[in-house]
Amino acid sequence: MKFVATLIANPLELALDDAFVNAAARAVGAREVHWLSQRVACDLTLPVNTKREEAEATLAVLVQGRPVDAAVQPAATRRKSGLIADMDSTMIDQECIDELADLFGVGEMVAQVTARSMNGEINFEAALRERVGLLKGMPISVVDEVLKTRITYAAGGRELVATMRANGAWTALISGGFTRFTSEIAAALGFHEHRANVLIEEGDHFTGEVVEPILGREAKADALSAIATKHGLSPAQFIAVGDGANDLGMLALAGTGVALHAKPFVANQTRIRINHGDLTALLYLQGYRQQDFVG
């Protein structure tokens, strides 16, 4: 099997230079260097007899202490036909439930539960019920206020979705958050579809309850399988991205699972980790060049 190694830096830092790239190429015996974006991303074509684990270990040592990410993938299957993305702290910079709670005056209590859940310390479903319970009586209008004043989109997200759509891929936003957010954010970023949990409402307030069953770790993986089947694809033809413990199922199931700026608990269980680049890193991982980007 032929492998390709991709080196990726944050587009704002331009941390890749010829000297470092050439040193990396020598270290893994790369036959060719192909720049995807000057000083931001490049591919190293690895010899046919390359052992993936050895190349990964060599590059991990080389990039240590540098703002550069490295990944090694099978060359023939790196370009994907679908994208499955988490929302909170992945496609947007915030955790929506934390923002709701902050405006409702229970921010510290909810944030503590969120952190423990994303680190895998407590069951996601139980944690969500606990957090939603703290929002009992919150006006529905608070959602609109959060969307208007507190939500920012993660760098590279629009380009990621638009470029994959332009190349025929199916795109889905799958969140353990809430449909009142995913409906707006999916539309703004151009996703084909979205799935999330539903907060129960009574009049113009939330009841502090969520519709069961909760969309958590297993449900995210199930959603990937269902979406792939619906579109005549396999999960192996998808690239998935997330940052929390409840994303691990879909990251493991997808052909390429990417832990983006993830918690250590998640990063340690995911083969491909992007700690420095933005969401355009997922395009470079698939071999897209910067000039191919849409949006």
pLDDT tens digits for 24-54?
999 999 989 999 999 999 999 999 999 999 9
How far apart CA 99 and CA 143 sit, in angstroms, is 9
- Confidence band of 122 (pLDDT split at 50, 70, 90): confident
Residue 119: predicted pLDDT: 81
Neighbours of 209 (CB within 10 A): 16
Percent of the chain with pLDDT over 70: 100
Residues 24 and 62: beta-carbon distance below 8 Å: yes
Identify any residues that bridge with 206 across adjacent strands, giving them in sequence order: 201
Evaluate if pTM is beyond 0.85: yes
pLDDT tens digit sequence for 72-112: 999 999 999 999 999 999 999 999 999 999 999 999 999 89
Q: Which two tokens stand for residue 192?
A: 């084909």
Q: Which two tokens stand for residue 252?
A: 């493991």
Residues recognised as catalytic = 86, 88
CB-based burial, 80-103: b 16+ in 10 Å, e otherwise: bbbbbbbbbbbbbebbbbbbbbbb
Q: Which two tokens stand for residue 164?
A: 């994959």
